[in-house]
Structure formats: structure tokens, C-alpha cells
Chain A
Amino acid sequence: AQTVTQSQPEMSVQEAETVTLSCTYDTSESDYYLFWYKQPPSRQMILVIRQEAYKQQNATENRFSVNFQKAAKSFSLKISDSQLGDAAMYFCAYRGNNAGNMLTFGGGTRLMVKP
């Protein structure tokens, strides 16, 4: 079974600075998708960014980018120019191609942004 591990329960960053959230996963599949979701205090899950495993290029969405290391099974999220609105729980998620589209989530990282 696939597992997703987020080793940082909490992270803190100064406003306007850069922070990197870590995620590792374990799988025997070669084709899969990886996601980062944000859950603010409202508890609405918001898709931040996704990465297809077959793509070597790291995904980027405005201030959010990933460092995808397939061989190392690592998928970190970098947030640049952090804003107060970035404060939230961040979940890394894995979706295999043969898993009926189900997502496996990591335990989450709580990001605090200091003004």
C-alpha cells in the first residue's frame, strides 16, 4: 500500500520569506500523481498544485512550486514571498493510476506565518 509522510508537524515562516514543506511517499508504481492541498481555518480543502510523475519538469503555480525527486520519492512544496493568507494546514497527497482515483494523504503540516 502507498504511504505518504510529512515529517514536519508544524512550520513557521516570516511574512515575505520562503518556506519549504517536505513530503515523502512510498510506492511501487511508476505512474502516479502528487498533490498539495491547503486547508485554512475554514476547513475547505483547496488544491494548490499537482505533479504528474511522468513529467520531469517541476510544477509551478505563481508563488508555489514543487521539487519533485522521483528516484528519492520526495515531493516538497516551496512557498515564496509568504503571505498571511498562506497560514493553513498543508496536506501532501498521492494518487496512483490503478487506485480508482483515491487519494492517500499525509498527516499534514501546520504552517504559521509571522507578520
Chain B
Amino acid sequence: GAVVSQHPSWVICKSGTSVKIECRSLDFQATTMFWYRQFPKQSLMLMATSNEGSKATYEQGVEKDKFLINHASLTLSTLTVTSAHPEDSSFYICSAKWREYAQYFGPGTRLTVT
């Protein structure tokens, strides 16, 4: 149980375009999901907390107009990187809150902006 999927696993896009990343909880309902960014050989940095049916809460320094988060159902949250630039290239990971004490993570999405 507690499986989280992400799609796509790897995406390459041109500078200036937008890309959407999906995060799904496959066998449980997740009222809260989280989006992280991870640079090579570094730890995970929380970008935003996504709550089903309400606006996402962004961490300080994260541009909410650039990283659009939608949590339209109890099993799906999406992250859209708008007008992507090479500096947005990174590994993006989502997680879903399961019960009160654990987060389960998706396999991550590698974004490369050319």
C-alpha cells in the first residue's frame, strides 16, 4: 500500500514552453500532497504544500505564478512549470501524506529545459 506515481519520469522541453507533471496516489486518498525540488547531490527542498480543493501554500522564495499547483481530486496533484528556463532544470519529487505520520514519495521527474 501507499504507492505514489509521477508522470512523466523524464521530460525535455524548450525554453519558454510549459510542462505539467502529475502526481497520483494509487491506493489511498491524499488530502495533502507536497512538491519538492532536488538539485544534484543535494537534499530535498520543499516548494509547496498542495491541499485538495484549496490553493497551494508556497514556501518562501518559490514563485507561485511560475510553479502552478492544482490539487483537483483526492488522488491527483499537478505541478505546471510555466515559461520554463534552463535554470528550472531539476529533479522534481512529489509526496503524499498517508495517515498522520508519514509521507510516501513518487519516483520523481527529471526536467531538462533546453
Q: Do A and B bind each other?
A: yes
State which of B16-24, B67-75, B77-85, B93-101 sits at the interface with chain A: B93-101
Bound-state CA distance A101–B97 (Å) is 8
Q: How many A-B residue pairs have CB under 8 A?
A: 49
Does A44 belong to the interface (CB within 8 Å)? yes
Does B91 belong to the interface (CB within 8 Å)? yes
Please tell me the number of chain A residues within 8 Å of chain B, measured between CB atoms.
Answer: 21
A108–B46 CB distance below 8 A: no
Bound-state CA distance A86–B46 (Å) is 25
Chain B 13-72 residues near chain A, CB threshold 8 A: 32, 34, 38, 42-44, 46, 49, 57
Residue ranges of B at the interface with A (Cβ–Cβ < 8 Å):
32, 34, 38, 42-44, 46, 49, 57, 91, 93, 95, 97, 100-105, 107-108
B107–A42 CB distance below 8 A: yes
Bound-state CA distance A23–B105 (Å) is 21
B102–A107 CB distance below 8 A: no
Q: Are A105 and B43 also in contact (CB < 8 A) when A43-B107, A45-B93, A45-B95 are?
A: yes
The residue in chain A whose Cβ has the minimal distance to the Cβ of B91 is: A43
B43–A47 CB distance below 8 A: no
